[in-house]
Structure 1
Amino acid sequence: MKNFRTEVHASDLSRSHRFFLLVLVSIGSSIIYTPAYLKNVFYDPLMQATGASNAEIGKMLSAYAITATICYLPSGIIADKIRTRTLAWVGFVSTAVLTFVYAMLPSIGMLYVVFVGMGITTILIWWGIRFKLVRLISEEDEYSRNIGVSYGFYGAAGLLVGLVSLGIVTWMANNMIMAIRTMLVFLGVLILLLGILSYLFIPRFEGEIAPSSSGFQISMVTEAFKNPVVWLASLTMFFVYFYYTGVNYTTPYLKDVMGASLGVVTVVSILRTYGVTLLSGPAFGFMAKAVGSPSRIIALSSLTAAAGLVAFTVLPQTAGMAVVAAIIVVALGFIANGVFGVVSSQLTEGKVPLSIFGTATGLLSVIGFLPDTFSSAWFGSIIDAQGNDAYPVIFYILAGAAVLAAVFSALLLAYVKRLPKAEMK
């Protein structure tokens, strides 16, 4: 093990050490958010165990989401001022503590406090180092590939932890309170272990903190805001995330419009949510590295996704076409997951300085994840008003978002080509 009192460069670490850190931050980025998003998988069990109503369950996640939105940009600023190792282990350990409190199934009021707390520990403290650590362990030409591989491990961890959690809940289904408590303790132990490993194995990196700075400097935020690459990457992220999350509406479309059986819909949903992530992240990462431009891959893939979304609007709405629709759904999931996995690589492609990389990541997150604040409510209102006739409207909107993602990727690519050669080295 290296002496972590001295600063190191990626090349100073062994290949196995760099790979271990890539796996650590990748699976950590999946597991640390699992407690906050349990309702997406275990909605009814959570209601039974906590005694919360539908509205209260929703408000818990809203409390987390609002806190997260407020914290994204500051998290990037903090990541540029504090060691990655410190933020990693503190973020993991503090989230583990809150998960153990969650496992006690306290009052609804206390649960609101827990969810706000997790917004602080997982976003303000931890989120800023998610992409920065991958950058720190990667040479310039390795980042696109490594971030793609990272999302592969992210998907694998989510699938494995999800299956184990499902096994716990199924095994203890006769006592749902004990089942949820056991599952949360299991998650808390995993997150605590990630914190310990972060403390032991993440070194001090050269250049992770600007040497001339002492404390917060508004100039870092100003520099990030003035950088065209940051804005172009953020707008690309916004539209990529918009259609990436919107692809979820293909599942009710299969069931309600195409008349697919519950079995087909379930299998397709699992493949789209978990299966494709294992392959799409690494595949798109390697493609981006081979082509030498994540933006080119994002643009071409987004246009392909737009074509697939439009295809849904012209498919005959019969059960006989359900298989064709299911294939398109899985293909769209593969593309959307893959593009989302490499979109942050545009910051590296555009040579965003490492000294403001965390701040840039924070801005990317604030803008990129904004669709979460309105898209579900918007699409839900369209479905409530128009029923099944709403799906073509939704798919056209998503196709438009995919086209705009391609446009901003092309603009970023054009900007990078105009950079002076000195900046490209």
Structure 2
Amino acid sequence: MSHEISLSRRLVIIFSIVFAGEIIFSLPFHVARFFRPTLLDVFSLTNTQLGDIFGLYGIMAMLAYFPGGAIADRFSGRRLMSFSLLTTALGGIYFVQIPSPTGLALLFAYWGVTTILLFWASMIKVTRQWGGKATQGKAFGILDGGRGLVAAGVASIAVLMITMAFPTSSVVMNINEQTSAIKTVISFYSLLTVLAAVLIWFTIPKVKTENLAINTNSITAHKQRNAIAGIIEVLKQPKVWLQAFIVLAAYCAYKSLDYFGLYATTVLGINELDSARMVSNASYLRPIAAITAGIIADKLRVGRVISWFFVLLSVSYLLFSLLLPNTASSNLIIEANFLLTFLLVFAIRGIYFALLEETKLSGQLTGTAVGIISVVGFTPDIFFAPIAGRIIDSAPGIDGFNQLFMLLFGISASGFTAAYLLAKRVKEQV
């Protein structure tokens, strides 16, 4: 295989990465995101219980991020990603049996390892190398935007499958129909996860991932770094910690999107299928937001763009907490703000890993840096769902959601502070 990869092959590679990068999280996250009211009824769970289950996933994921980064710097992304997808799909066989809350907790703990340890840092590293030095914003915008398109597309198909299976139950489904619907969705996502594993195995080159960049002449050979020395080098850099906090704030905002379907049914009075349809349709904004943000970031600097997006997101959450629904004017504003929030969250999420190149972090330490940033940045997998579930359960209805939105306002404002400080530090380096 030549060192230069054709444009068509590069497109196939990035499509495979994008598809696999979203589908691996479909079983642990999509079912709850798009079908949360139905999931809660079928598994007889409260928001607090489901939040604690996600918290266990987060704990295992945190333990997996750090070693996963070092592993990604040493082994083939093709093998690591394919194996992760297959082991994740195996969990779907148990999920579709509708296990008890204890069994569900163990399943999510298992997924915390299979979706992260061998997959996450490999995906980020391959994407950075695929994008080269000049188009990091576009590369990560395509990755996250494409993942959003995959998420929305498969969710729409799942909603359509349920609608066709239960055409007379568009308003309220009984528990038997809800159980059949959830089993259909789980089986669908499990099959897609297996398909993603096959796709990665046959499309990602067997050669080292450095050869995925179209301009490989700019990549020079480096001796194998000592793993411990690399970790210490990364930990000593303040810019890595600032990036980690930016990811943390952005990921809290992203996790909040899981509750918009429940907000629609609980506060706005929308039925379960329409709620799932509304969230899946809003998810189509993700590719638009992420790719557009990537283009803008490549022109204006990533840190600066993220700073302004956090300002707008803070205002958006504050507006949610102040509005009262069920009047014509307020409902219209809420719906517009709903779309704005999705756009801003997707835009920030689409480009925050492009900061790796902007801050001039060594490419040879990408996996290690991603591991460290992810350990901090994705801690919301541990604490956000348990906190949000308790807030909503302790103050049912609009009051609980208003408290949640005020919490998110404060987190987003903190994200702006971290992004501003990082952008200032990058400017001083130029």
Which TM-score bucket, shorter chain as reference? 0.7 to 0.9
Instruction: Indicate conservation of the 8 Å contact 2:54/2:381, yes or no.
Output: no
Instruction: Indicate conservation of the 8 Å contact 1:35/1:187, yes or no.
Output: yes
What is the aligned partner in structure 2 of residue 85 from structure 1?
78
Instruction: Indicate conservation of the 8 Å contact 2:95/2:107, yes or no.
Output: yes
What is the aligned partner in structure 2 of residue 148 from structure 1?
141
Question: How far does residue 413 in structure 1 lie from its aligned partner after superposition?
Answer: 1.6
**1:196-207 equivalence runs, <5 A:** 196-203=198-205, 204-205=207-208, 207=210
The 1:39–1:77 alpha-carbon spacing in structure 2 relative to 1, beyond 3 Å, is same
Gaps of 5+ in 2: 167-175, 212-219
Post-superposition CA distance 1:328-370 (Å, at most 9, x none): 2211221121112111111121111122111111222221122
Asked which structure has the greater RCO (Cα within 8 Å, sep 6+), the reply is 2
Identity over aligned residues, as a percent? 23
Report how many aligned residue pairs link the two structures.
406
Say which of 19, 24, 49 aligns to 2:11: 19
The residue identity in structure 1 corresponding to 2:223 is S
Question: How far does residue 379 in structure 1 lie from its aligned partner after superposition?
Answer: 4.2
The CA RMSD measured in Å over matched residues stands at 3.5
What is the aligned partner in structure 2 of residue 138 from structure 1?
131
Say which of 363, 373, 377 aligns to 2:372: 363
Say which of 109, 116, 128 aligns to 2:109: 116
Gaps of 5+ in 1: none
Instruction: Indicate conservation of the 8 Å contact 1:76/1:362, yes or no.
Output: yes
Question: How far does residue 220 in structure 1 lie from its aligned partner after superposition?
Answer: 1.8
Post-superposition CA distance 1:298-320 (Å, at most 9, x none): 00111122223333455566613
TM-score, L = length of structure 2: 0.81
Say which of 339, 346, 354 aligns to 2:363: 354
Q: In structure 2, what is the Cα distance between the partners aligned to 1:213 and 1:371?
A: 33
Instruction: Look up the SS of the partner of 1:374 in the other structure.
Output: helix
Post-superposition CA distance 1:196-227 (Å, at most 9, x none): 2222221223659985338x721121112112
The residue identity in structure 1 corresponding to 2:196 is L
Say which of 286, 289, 294 aligns to 2:302: 294
The residue identity in structure 1 corresponding to 2:352 is V
The residue identity in structure 2 corresponding to 1:284 is A
TM-score, L = length of structure 1: 0.82
Instruction: Look up the SS of the partner of 1:352 in the other structure.
Output: coil
Instruction: Look up the SS of the partner of 1:82 in the other structure.
Output: coil
Instruction: Indicate conservation of the 8 Å contact 1:210/1:355, yes or no.
Output: no
Say which of 286, 302, 308 aligns to 2:316: 308
Deviates more, 1:267-276 or 1:299-308: 267-276
Q: In structure 2, what is the Cα distance between the partners aligned to 1:313 and 1:82?
A: 47
Deviates more, 1:393-402 or 1:52-61: 52-61
What is the aligned partner in structure 1 of residue 387 from structure 2?
378
**1:29-178 equivalence runs, <5 A:** 29-37=21-29, 38-42=31-35, 52-54=43-45, 61-100=54-93, 102-103=95-96, 114-172=107-165
Q: In structure 1, what is the Cα distance between the partners aligned to 2:269 and 2:177?
A: 31
Question: How far does residue 122 in structure 1 lie from its aligned partner after superposition?
Answer: 1.2
Instruction: Indicate conservation of the 8 Å contact 1:229/1:347, yes or no.
Output: no
Instruction: Indicate conservation of the 8 Å contact 2:68/2:117, yes or no.
Output: yes
